[in-house]
Amino acid sequence: VDVCIGNEEDAETTLGFKAAHTDITKGELNLDGYKDVFKQMKEKFGFKFIASSLRESYSASDNGWSALVYDGTDFYHTKKYNVRIVDRVGSGDSFASGLIYGLVTGMSMPDAAEFGVAASALKHTIPGDLNHATLNEVKDLMKGDASGRVQR
């Protein structure tokens, strides 16, 4: 397996690794806990990349959204998007597909992570489980254009 993507619940229930001092019910994230889990996963399974989306729950409708990626040497924590949620179904899939797209198209690990988290941040604003954002919309958001302006 080259890329292992999951959240803290996945790591604990399927692989037996728990991120210390993290309480998803309170929206509390501890990056050091995630980093420790990622190191253990790398050592035990040899994944090339390990990634997790990171959700900070401010309310049911408003979340902080970022990601952490590890390549066995370096950790990269993406920028955080404060997202007003329309529909969060499919946001994890959008992160995974965006990260993998970035990696297979030759992006650096940080750029691939930023692409994945931007794609999934956009997905939160789209009803239904499919992400209809375009490649250019994702790239624009990565560059800081969060205006939402119509571009013709």
For 3-142, the fitting CATH number among 3.30.470.20, 3.40.1190.20, 2.40.50.140, 3.10.20.30 is 3.40.1190.20
For residue 151, pLDDT over 70 is answered with no
- Taking all residues of the chain, what is their mean pLDDT, rounded to a whole number? 91
Residue range 14-42: mean pLDDT, rounded: 83
49-80 pLDDT per residue, tens: 999 999 998 999 999 999 999 999 999 999 99
pLDDT of residue 30: 84
Could you tell me the pTM of the whole model? 0.90
C-alpha to C-alpha distance for 31 and 136, rounded to whole angstroms: 30
C-alpha to C-alpha distance for 57 and 70, rounded to whole angstroms: 23
124-143 pLDDT per residue, tens: 999 999 999 999 999 999 99
Question: CA nearest 113: which of 83, 81, 149?
Answer: 81
For residue 149, pLDDT over 60 is answered with no
pLDDT of residue 152: 40
Percentage of the chain lying above the pLDDT 90 cut: 74
Residue range 94-108: mean pLDDT, rounded: 98
pLDDT of residue 148: 57
Yes or no: say if 7 and 41 are a contact pair by the CB < 8 Å rule.
no
pLDDT of residue 20: 74
Yes or no: say if 110 and 73 are a contact pair by the CB < 8 Å rule.
no
DSSP letter for each residue of the chain: --EEE--HHHHHHHH----TT-BGGGTB--HHHHHHHHHHHHHHH--SEEEEEEEEESSSSEEEEEEEEE-SS-EEEPPPEEEE-S--TTHHHHHHHHHHHHHHTT--HHHHHHHHHHHHHHHTTSSSSS----HHHHHHHHTT--------
pLDDT of residue 145: 74
C-alpha to C-alpha distance for 27 and 9, rounded to whole angstroms: 13
Beta strands at 62-70 and 3-5: parallel, antiparallel or unpaired: unpaired
